[in-house]
Structure 1
Amino acid sequence: MKRFLPALLLLAAAVACKPQKEYNADLLVKNAVVYTVDSTFTTANAFVVSNGRIQAVGSADSLEDKYLAREVIDAQGKAVYPGFIDAHAHFMEYGLGLQDANLVGLKSWEAVLDTVKNYATHKTEGWIIGWGWDQNIWANKAFPNKAKLDSLFPVRPVILNRIDGHAAIANQAALNIAGVKPGQKIVGGTVETIDGKLTGILIDNAVGIVTRKIPAPTEQMVQTALLAAQKNCFEAGLTTVDDCGVPYQLINVIAQLQHKGDLKMRLYLMLADQKENYDYLFKRGAYKTPGLNVRAFKVYADGALGSRGACLLKPYTDQPKWNGFLKSPKAHFEEVAKKIAAHGFQMATHAIGDSANRLMLKIYAANLKGKNDKRWRIEHAQIIDPTDVKLFGDNNIIPSVQPTHATSDMSWAGKRLGARLKNGYIYKTLMKQNGWIPLGTDFPVENINPMYTFYAAVERKDLKGQPVDGFQMENALDRQEALRGMTIWAAKANFEEHEKGSIEPGKFADFVILDQDIMKAKGSDLPNIKVLKTYVNGVKVYEKK
């Protein structure tokens, strides 16, 4: 042993003198199929994260030679994507709604009543609020009547919101509190009256007559709602959400939660079309942090197709002499467009019917005056007369669409529209106007799951796989377009394409790992693909148990 001792001492000395490689990265993801969603749709098998941002993308061999990471994720061949972005949703409203009676998917008015009765046994005081009923999936597709609701709750006020958020049914107690009278007229809404009696049905602006009487949620309730919504979104792989139509007071609540580190979800807020919101943002200017971006206003042109509030050029096929309505006079839209343009903010307008879309496209065009980079948006862009399509491209107007609306509506939309159905849900046609299109869900109107968005965009089928050949497949997106619509194009709609939406050096390290590759999986498997892990700033915020 003594004869080996000098050699061992020399070796130990050499090792001691050799400089040790120090950590120069926080995270290495390797053995993955990384869809970078860069300009050429490059794939890689590894990337490095430092200080919450992507530092390098490439092959594991080359990156491991250059970087020593504190944490290594072996993806074992799984697909990795940029964090998904929902370009149109109602984040806070969704969180608050998690505390209400869930009426989504119930197949009859009787089932709705049973659910509300059960809910009332747990929430024994105050207003009873529900969300999600849809008469279009009932055997009797007519709007319900409040009579049974009145007998169940003669004293407690009740309001149950339709799935699209553009109609509700209230019991007499709620109507009394709000002072609603039979035959009452309201601009941009309807108080339904039959044979001189209130049915309880309120459409669009009429809903607000009642909801304004509901006590406002406390700040603690709002914080709880935001964190509950965040939890479900991270589970779905969402790392940024556009929250459409919120009050300016929400900015400080979100900013405080993000500063404390409790709210990690990135949010793009569109303030509601109200004077106090304009005054606030015009005075202070756009608000921008890594987690919060406020530079847009959300305006409502019309209602929804399901409740016949969408404004059409010609009458509804299933309700002759009725065209729907605008939610405000034309002069209002002209006024707000002019002042939003003057202050350099983004305008985003809900427009469903072909008449509402035509009006807003022309108002936009008058203010944008041709090619521009102001990125004004039409939210939903659902029914577009063929003669108006070119206005999107001529003025660089962004059609912000929700693919699951097509597959939710397709079974009954033809009854509303007749032959005009071919002018609806024309995502491919709209995408070609500017060469890109952002995608969202409109949750809680639709499910928050981005896999449903992807599936509806490319397969144009419902969750039962119907129709077998897809719905109006000439307007399906291909898989690359759909993925871009949920990532880089959604980021671009928010002026954020240089900081998120792709896995490229310098961008936020927001990414998701899925259990199957959505670019290669069978179409029928797409809705069932699950998120394994979600990361924000290179930090894990969700892992499938």
Structure 2
Amino acid sequence: MPDATAIAVRDGVVAWLGSDDVGRAQFPDAEVTDLDGCFVAPAFVDSHVHVTATGLTLTGLDLRHATSRRHCLDLLAAYSRAHPDGVLWGHGWDESGWPDAEPPSTADVDAAVGAGRMAYLARIDVHSALASTALQHAAGVRSDAPLTADDHHRVRRIARDHLTAAQRTGARRAALDTAAARGIVAVHECAGPDIGGLEDWRELRDLQHGVEVVGYWGQQVSTAEQARELIAETGARGLAGDLFVDGALGSRTAWLHEPYADVPSDCAAPTGNTYLDVDMITAHLAACTEAGVTAGFHVIGDAAASAVVTALDAVVERVGSVAVARCGHRLEHLEMVTAEQAAKLGGWGVIASMQPAFDAVWGGADGMYAQRLGASRAARMNDFALLASQGVPLAFGSDAPVTDMDPWAAVRAATTHHTSGSAVSARAAFAAATRGAWRAGGVRDGVTGTLVPGAPASYAIWEADAFDVSAPADAVQRWSTDPRSRVPLLPRLDGPLPRCRQTVHRGAVLHG
């Protein structure tokens, strides 16, 4: 920011923005900070995270970098030797990129961690997991293959119960500290009975940290009274987030119209898993709409998307589109959607909470999507442009720990989609990671997520190598807020990403 351009903050609110001497004269006693060539932008919001699980990955065993089955087991064994006590919690293995494409067996896990030790190792999408024999025995399950659905939830619950209070608190602080260090001032925690449990959510809600936590509770209800009671009990913003209609593509548990392209011949569910049917989805939406509560679902497969749209159609027919739109219902992931479905969702004001990094990690001709679905279906995944063109509000996040909380990488991923025509502009992507995510969280005052007088002073200061060359030539090297888009001039994202120097939320410094 050159010396001629300044932003003034008073009592946690943007008081003035400009470059004229008359404006500066309003603040004769102001403390002045020279940004030394850095730029200021509205802070990010991550619209989908799992804070404790993210922290456990940051402080524990991160298997996302394992390059083979053998490498995964070597990492596991080394970690077990270095941390011999308590339940072993790991995350991130992904066999789809390994040479043999085969996950470890239960016997492999037992050999790596030692007989009698509990070990829980979530797949990268957290919709299946490996578990040692000791943990499986404690959970009352037995399988040599990765566990899914109810069996997965059982072993995860037992593993979670064996974490100490210190482990849980340390993990949460690590996750929120990381968010602040990456220019994020608020996260949407997608909690629920089968994710972290009520105790985990209450502990997170009560944690004192500068990063704002907006909580959603993924539990199905059938009446408005149940919805009101559950909101009162949990203190959640809505009964949404990871309320699972289906699973994930990587674990072959997303609900599809047609079978998986690489489904094993002996698979009992070639089109994936269904956790909520149309009637249950409809009942939840109707109950939440009547109660004035935000509803939402985890939706990945095309059959899951069809079920949700069918249910929404029924509720709109019953109470009208205005009543539905007023609640700000949201769909997490929404990776497989048709043009007709997108048009309906846009007309009903349903928010799409999406993760651009999914395409960056799993898209393309050789990616996991193509392995699971075939090239044709995979090419239609995560169509941000389609949804935006139909008026569906977008909110971007990470689904951490599935992908990293790295908002600039998410913005870049949304602009460089593997499929031609599915990307959005950098400004649209930035808006979805700031204003759009605030809106998805229920903040609709028109200024939060921007830097204009009267807006909360929630911003980050960034070091960057160059600005977006698509901006006007005379504006490339200065920071300002475009009065039309209210999105700042953006740095170029085709090289090193911006580095966060400082993060501020409502005037309070969270990082730097």
Question: Is the shorter-chain TM-score for this pair beyond 0.5, marking a shared fold?
Answer: yes
Q: Deviations over 1:282-315 (max 9, x none)?
A: 2385799xxx972343311111111111111111
Aligned mate of 2:134, from 152, 168, 173: 173
Q: 1:285 to 1:271 in 2, by over 3 A?
A: closer
Query: Which residue, 260, 283, 297 being the options, matches 2:240?
Result: 297
Identity of aligned residues (%): 24
When the two chains are superposed, the root-mean-square deviation of aligned CA atoms in Å is 2.7
Contact 1:459–1:523 (8 Å) recurs in 2: no
- In structure 2, the residue matched to 1:345 is 293
Match of residue 498, structure 2, among 503, 506, 529:
529
Query: Cα–Cα, structure 1 residues 254 and 146, in superposed 2: closer, same or farther, change >3 Å?
Result: closer
Q: In the TM superposition, what are the counterparts of 1:23-172 in structure 2 within 5 Å?
A: 31=2, 45-59=5-19, 61-152=21-112, 153-172=114-133
Can you list the C-alpha shifts for 1:223-246, whole angstroms capped at 9, x where unaligned?
322221111111111111111124
Name the CA distance, whole Å, in 2 between partners of 1:251 and 1:139.
39
1:415 paired with 2:371, answer yes
Secondary structure in 2 matching 1:169 = strand
Q: Deviations over 1:173-195 (max 9, x none)?
A: 222222214xxxxxxxxxxxxxx
Q: Please say if 1:448 is aligned against 2:405.
A: yes
Write 1 or 2 for the structure with the bigger share of strand.
Answer: 1
Q: Which moved more, 1:303-312 or 1:394-403?
A: 394-403
Letter in 2 for 1:131: H
Matches within 5 A, 1:122-271: 122-152=82-112, 153-181=114-142, 198-214=143-159, 215=161, 217-246=163-192, 247-249=197-199, 252-254=202-204, 256-258=206-208, 263-271=209-217
In the TM superposition, residue 50 of structure 1 has moved relative to its aligned partner by 0.9
Q: CA deviation at 1:433?
A: 1.7
Aligned residues: 469
- Residue aligned with 1:528, SS: coil
Match of 2:387, SS state, is helix
Distance 1:208 1:436 in 2: 32
In structure 2, relative to structure 1, the CA distance for the partners of 1:530 and 1:204 (3 Å cut) is farther
Which residue does the alignment assign to 1:377?
330
Larger Rg: 1
Closer/same/farther in 2, CA of residues 360 and 281 from structure 1, 3 Å limit: closer
Query: Post-superposition shift, 1:45?
Result: 2.7
Pair 60,483 (structure 1): closer, same or farther in 2 beyond 3 Å: farther
1:456-490 CA distance string (max 9 Å, x none): 01123xxxxxxxxxx11301111110111111111
Shift of 1:408: 0.9
Query: 2:509 aligns to what?
Result: 540
TM-score normalised to the size of structure 2?
A: 0.85
Matched position secondary structure for 1:56: strand
**What is the distance in 1 between the residues matched to 2:18 and 2:232?**
36
Change (3 A) 1:415 1:96: closer
**CA distance, structure 2, for counterparts of residue 150 and residue 255 of structure 1:** 36
How far does the alpha carbon of each residue in 1:502-524 deviate from its partner, in whole angstroms, 9 at most, with x for none? 11222221101111156444442
Structure 1 residue ranges without an equivalent (≥5): 1-29, 33-43, 182-197, 461-470
Q: Aligned AA for 1:211?
A: R
Give every structure 1 segment of 4 or more consecutive aligned residues whose post-TM-superposition deviation is greater than 6 Å: 278-281
Report the 3-state secondary structure (helix = DSSP H, G, I; strand = E; otherwise coil) of the residue aligned with 1:434: coil
| Offset, 1:150 | 2.4
- The amino acid of 1:53's aligned partner reads V
Contact 2:282–2:314 (8 Å) recurs in 1 = no
Question: What is the DSSP-based 3-state SS (H/G/I as helix, E as strand, rest coil) of the residue aligned with 1:270?
Answer: strand
Q: TM-score by structure 1 length?
A: 0.80
